[in-house]
Amino acid sequence: MPWVKVWIHFVWSTKNREPYLADEIRLKVFQHIKENAKEKEIYLDFIGGYVDHVHCLISLGTDQTMEKIMQLIKGESSFWINKNKLCRGKFEWQNEYFAVSVSETVIESVRKYIANQVEHHRTKSFDDEFEGFMKRAGFQKFLG
């Protein structure tokens, strides 16, 4: 049996960054995502976010890809949100997502960062946060 630990920090937003994930809804959605991930044998270590986006810290299994993880989490959760009518109108996630590897040595600081999203976004927009992620990960050439 292979022993693998590959940490990925995923970030994705609601379609058009609509603020669908108000406090009560956000907590229900995050709890559902955790339960769904467990059922699908996705090791979701930590989840957090704000009204228009989600952060997840996930350790990939040997047969999992980032694309498949995002498909399973985003697709199933948007279906569940719509089925339970948690939002007015049709809920959708943005197609894009951000994913970056995380060293074992900084896992605790990533967890704290994810846990502190509400406070963090009192002073910083998602656009500013995302641009910072892109620059730190070396994706400057993709920024407009």
Which runs of consecutive H residues, i.e. helices, occur in the chain?
Answer: 23-39, 66-83, 107-115, 117-120, 126-136
Number of H helices, E strands in the chain: 5, 4
Task: Enumerate the domain spans of the chain.
Answer: 6-142
pTM, rounded to two decimals = 0.89
Q: Which two tokens stand for residue 50?
A: 């704000």
Per CATH, the number for 6-142 is: 3.30.70.1290
Instruction: Round to whole Å and give the CA distance between 36 and 29.
Output: 10
Note whether 21 and 50 are within 8 A (CB): yes
Give the C-alpha separation, 74 to 92, whole Å.
9
The pLDDT value recorded for residue 2 is 79
* Tokens (6 digits) for 123: 């002073």
The stretches in the chain having pLDDT less than 50 are none
Q: What is the DSSP string of 40-51?
A: TT-EEEEEEEET
Tokens coding 63: 């047969």
Amino acid at 23: D
pLDDT of residue 143: 54
